[in-house]
Structure 1
Amino acid sequence: MLESPAPQRPLVLGSTSRYRRELLTRLHLPFTVAAPAVDETPLPGETPRTLALRLALAKAQAVAALQPKAIVIGSDQVADLHGQSLGKPGNHERATAQLRQMRGQTVVFQTAVAVVAPGFSQVELAPVQVRFRDLSDAEIERYLRAEQPYDCAGSAKSEGLGITLLDAIDSDDPTALIGLPLIRTSRLLRAAGLVLP
């Protein structure tokens, strides 16, 4: 007689990002979403890499404190232009300024994911190097009017029309640039005791 598997702990995505929610559905696991109450202001002198790691873990810990029996995923992404953090632009003017700064440059998108569960807490970084084309002001304007990526770090959606702004993407975790590195997320979830399909 086969034993039925033990019930899994509830899985919670500690993020309000629709991009991360859509990515996590690819793993075919039931999960809920909770908004983490975390101040995302960089600390004085904090590097983009350190900021992404700190915020991913803080988001997972904040939600885990409210749902202590759950396995919680936290994630954060910071665009890193030569050590300078570029956040979500929020509006057209800031997005224009960001894309002008990044044209012809290689930007590292520091994408971190953390998993926190009872007796378990780990965070990993999945950096993605993105080389932007030497964009004209007209190309930047056309792109921003078409896609309005004002809620995206670095002002471009590689999964959409933003791919036309790029010369190259270098990553060992293909979904990291969209906001949740699923290879690392899967590894951390298995380490936390979750059985993946």
Structure 2
Amino acid sequence: MNPTAKPLALAIALAGGLALPMAAAHAANPRNPCAPKSRTPVAAKNPCAAGKPNDAIDPKLVTRPKNYRPYAGTAGELKKEGQRLWSDSSLSTNGMSCNTCHQSNGAFQDTFAQPYPHAVQMAKDRVGMKTTHLDEMVQICMVAPMAARPLAWSSRELAALGAYATEIQKNFTPAKGKTHNPCAAKNPCAVKK
């Protein structure tokens, strides 16, 4: 008997005869980005995969609580920690970090140049917030693109990410409507006209 036949026969028996058709389907479409997606959870590489712009977020998760007191630390230490956390994909459940969307000032709207709180389209679309504080925006990003739980409101991590984002904001220049948005990338599977 062929040495690979026995494990294959066992796999077919265990899977109720599905192993061979699944293997054949995979072989027919290797690395085809337009092939139907597997039901196996895979880390999202696309910031848009975490939700569409109109997917609602529970406001209780991302709205400042009553009697809110942020973590108090020195500005220098918080900025340094925030810079490290900005690229830390372990904060998410899908392999993303803040830097995934915001590398080189990407995905910031022109309004990012305004002092917080201010109107943020993503917060309006997903949460219904008319104005948003910076720490609330960090929480929205934690829940939406990064597919994670919000950070503790009194956490050093939330304060650090806010401090680093404030530092980025100081040097931000609006692109006058030409903001880089990773979600605007063309879909290779879309039907071409």
Q: Does the TM-score normalized on the shorter chain lie above 0.5?
A: no
> Which range, TM-score by smaller chain?
under 0.3
Q: Which has the higher contact order (CA 8 A, sep 6+)?
A: 2
More strand by share: 1
TM-score, structure 2 as length reference: 0.26
More helix by share: 2
Which has more radius of gyration?
2
